[in-house]
Amino acid sequence: MSGVPFTSTAEPALPPAPGFWNSPGLRRFRRHKLAVFGAATIVFLTLACIVGPWLLPYTDTFIDIRNRFAPPFSGPHVLGTDPLGRDILARLLMAGRISLAVGFSAMAIAMAIGIVVGMVAGFYEGALGAALMRFVDAMLCFPSIFLLLAISALISPSVPSIILLIAMTSWMEVARVVEAQIRSLKTREFAQAAVSFGASNRRIMVRELLPNAIAPIVVAATLNVAHAILAESYISFLGFGIQPPTPSWGNMLDSAQSYLTSAPWLAIIPGAAITLAVTSFNFIGDGLRDALDPRMDGQ
């Protein structure tokens, strides 16, 4: 389910890595074959989605009624056509632009909210921190799909609002991770030293604590992209997704169920694209976790 990629971040909190670009980490990442595979796939997908549509003879919205429901690998349309005769490959690539953009943008917003809330809550603790974290807990009491569904009713289904919607329902885990990190980091010597030098709270948070918490944040960010792409497909499936004619991997699937017997490729192709992209991000996240965890050094 859409909440799932996060279950992995819930694993025991990582101690801070000394720095991100240290070579042992990079080496460990490279040693992680699946992560490399994931990264390569994402690069490939991204390039294909950016460049691909220019190379194809059809656009994603060109309606070719005579060739509707053409099966894949059977004619000029490589991956077949949809109920209006539009080229599925062209739509898949354009949809990829949207879905990847939704994934990255939602992640960026969710990270921003999560980091700020987590940092403030972790740094100040006390009443403010408790209030913020109780709010986070309350948001996490809603199963994510329930929250998505309830909020999607609030907004009209455009690309920016879907991004906001996903971000609004996926920042909580990030806040938790960051809060725990900051709370433990601020008792460490370097933080105490900064305090004694009279640095401002903001400076301590942003310059001293945050960089040291970067490892779990990067992992969470990667998994967050995976989560956002999945979430977009769920919203579409439940009928609240991005509106036609703009394609997204999610809304390419939303009417697929009724064509499952007659044109199964309508369901299989976009679903496979989602699975591939999400799996790749999860592989990267997994690799990053190993790479950034110094405990893995000895193994």
CB atoms within 10 A of CB 26: 12
Asked if 124 is part of the footprint of another protein (rule: CB under 8 A), the reply reads no
Indicate which single residue of 5, 53, 114, 118 sits in contact with another protein (rule: CB under 8 A). 5
Q: Judged by CB under 8 A, which stretch of 51-59, 96-104, 109-117, 151-159 contacts another protein?
A: 151-159
Choice between 19 and 244, CB closer to another protein: 244
By CB under 8 A, how many residues form the interface with another protein? Answer: 71
Does 202 sit near another protein (CB under 8 A)? no
- List residues bridging with 87 in a β-sheet: 81
Does 106 sit near another protein (CB under 8 A)?
Answer: no
Say how far apart CA 113 and CA 203 lie, in whole Å.
Answer: 18
Closest approach of Cβ 192 to another protein, in Å? 22
Task: List, as one string, the DSSP characters of 187-224.
Answer: TSHHHHHHHHTT--HHHIIIIIIHHHTHHHHHHHHHHH
- Near another protein in 26-55, by CB under 8 A: 34
Spatial distance between the Cα atoms of 210 and 191, rounded to a whole number of angstroms:
11
Count, in order, helices (H) and strands (E) of the chain: 14, 0
Based on the shown chain and the rule CB under 8 A, indicate whether residue 118 belongs to the binding site for another protein: no
133 in contact with another protein (CB under 8 A): yes
Q: Are 221 and 107 in contact (CB under 8 A)?
A: yes
Q: HSE, CB side, 13 Å, CA atoms: give it for residue 206.
A: 7
To which residue do tokens 């101690």 refer? 15
Residues from 59 through 98 that contact another protein (CB under 8 A) = 61, 63, 65, 68, 83-84
Q: Does 153 bind another protein (CB under 8 A)?
A: yes
Q: Does 267 bind another protein (CB under 8 A)?
A: yes
Listed ranges 19-27, 110-118, 192-200, 274-282: which one lies at the site for another protein (CB under 8 A):
274-282
Strand, helix or coil at 153? coil
Q: Which residue among 240, 247, 289, 290 contacts another protein (CB under 8 A)? A: 240
C-alpha–C-alpha distance, residues 96 and 154, integer Å: 26
Alpha carbon distance 225, 274 (integer Å): 12
Task: Tell me the β-bridge partners of 81.
Answer: 87
From the list 3, 80, 216, 247, which residue makes contact with another protein (rule: CB under 8 A)? 3
**Least Å distance between CB 134 and another protein?**
6
Q: Which member of 184, 255, 294, 296 binds another protein (CB under 8 A)?
A: 255
Q: Is 142 near another protein (CB under 8 A)?
A: yes
24 binds another protein (CB under 8 A): no
Q: Is 284 in the site for another protein (CB under 8 A)?
A: no
Tokens at 101, concatenated: 């953009």
296 binds another protein (CB under 8 A): no
